Amino acid sequence: MESEQRQEIERLVERAAALGPAERATLLAGVSPELRREVESLLAFEQEAEDFLECPAWELEASAVEADTASLQPGTQVGPYRVVQVVGSGGMGHIYRARDTRLERDVALKFLPRRWSEDPQALERFKREARSASALNHPNIYSIHDVGEHGGQPFLVTELLEGRTLKQRLAEGPLEPDELVRVALQVADALAAAHAKAIVHRDVKPSNIFLARDGLAKILDFGLAKLISEPSEAPATAPAGPVAMQDTATLPGMVLGTAPYMSPEQIRRENIDGRSDLFSLGIALYEAATGGLPFPGGTPLEITEAILAKSPTPPRKLNRTLPRRLERVLLRLLEKDRARCYQSALELQADLIRSRAGSRRRWMWAGTASAVLAASLSLWPWHRDPEIAIRRVAVLPLRNLSASPGQEQLAEGISEAIVVDLAKLSGLRVTSSASARR
């Protein structure tokens, strides 16, 4: 294909991707049939790729089966993995619950559709998700255990999560302020870890935030993740500050992401860093707090124009139960001026903690309690005795024995800090205080 024709196709794809169905049809009506077929094919591919890679097993409907991908029967052996059942099937392939016969654990097998197996773009995104997620070992980032190929079809092996996405939870209404902060703190911690490894997610949204039954929130789908240039500039021991992004894996002119949750930098195709993820997280948290988007619109084009030019309605006007400090956090997350927004996920975490506890000094006790517990566990006899294996720990709710009702949040915060720290220990399954209470 000639270079000029390819550039024209890319320009049309970019414009069409931001339009609704009617506007898109009008745009493509004026081009040649050959160009229209190319543009429609690329648009369909991008949509299917996003749907498959962002859609976890628990969201797919098992009734929609695509004929080009043969379903594996229960008992089928895929390397060391024994298929237990089909969890979901469709045009985006199959996802199975399977048993890892080596480690005796349940996992999810996520297959790329057969017709994509020879498509370089699909394979690259598939591999990118595996590389990005596997580079991160964090309790709030879903784990990829393995990659492989079976019958000519590539597949991912991931942890099998039980629970639901934030998008599914929001169908029931906004989150309570305490629940909102709990989720936000965990997602911010995950983003801090990713940014410290020079990885920007680029598609933070409610359907990519999973609320597990054990109380942990996890970020899903690193299919659009990109490496920040110069990884050494963002060491793991330092806050993940602004670092320029080197985007070389997407087609020139293409805008990847999900329109309602894009940052202004993504829309303008500028260099992005961790602050872009924080803006997207701000949109998701605003929606979780109010039940609506901060930048609504009838079409993707209207939405992106609102993100670039409009200010969000103050969230307390839509939800009076929100504390003012939390409202300030949400509005700063949605600040378009990159010099005034949060510069790192660690800075966001600090403000979230202050919004809940009321003072930094109270939360110093939470960190101290967590550190003391970790030190105690390191000295505990079972840690040294190979005959005693502790595989599961329940963190019980702390009781507020003071006369101050305000200390309830402090007690809850200490429990949560302990859960997050313990979850970082490999081989230990942690039950949160909320689950233990039930």
d(CA 238, CA 340): 20
Q: What is the DSSP secondary structure assignment for residue 337, as one 8-state letter?
A: -
Residue 349's φ and ψ, nearest 5 degrees, are: -55, -45
Place of tokens 């999900």: 258
Catalytic residue among 51, 119, 146, 203: 203
* Token pair recorded at residue 353: 């903690």
Place of tokens 């595989």: 391
Asked if residues 69 and 94 have their Cβ atoms less than 8 Å apart, the reply is yes
Helix (H, G, I), strand (E, B) or coil at 341: coil
Whole-angstrom Cα Rg for the chain = 23
Is 203 a known active-site residue? yes
Residue type, 276: S
Residue 270 class from Cβ within 10 Å (0-12 exposed, 13-18 middle, 19+ buried)? middle
Asked if residues 293 and 286 have their Cβ atoms less than 8 Å apart, the reply is yes
* Token pair recorded at residue 242: 């602004």
DSSP-assigned beta bridge partners for residue 226: 200
Place of tokens 């200390």: 407
In Å, the largest CA–CA distance within the chain is: 76
Residue 90's φ and ψ, nearest 5 degrees, are: 175, -165
Place of tokens 């594996």: 72
d(CA 102, CA 80): 7
Q: How many helices (H) and strands (E) does the chain have?
A: 15, 13
Residue type, 340: R
Residue 353 class from Cβ within 10 Å (0-12 exposed, 13-18 middle, 19+ buried)? buried
- Residues with a catalytic annotation lie at 203
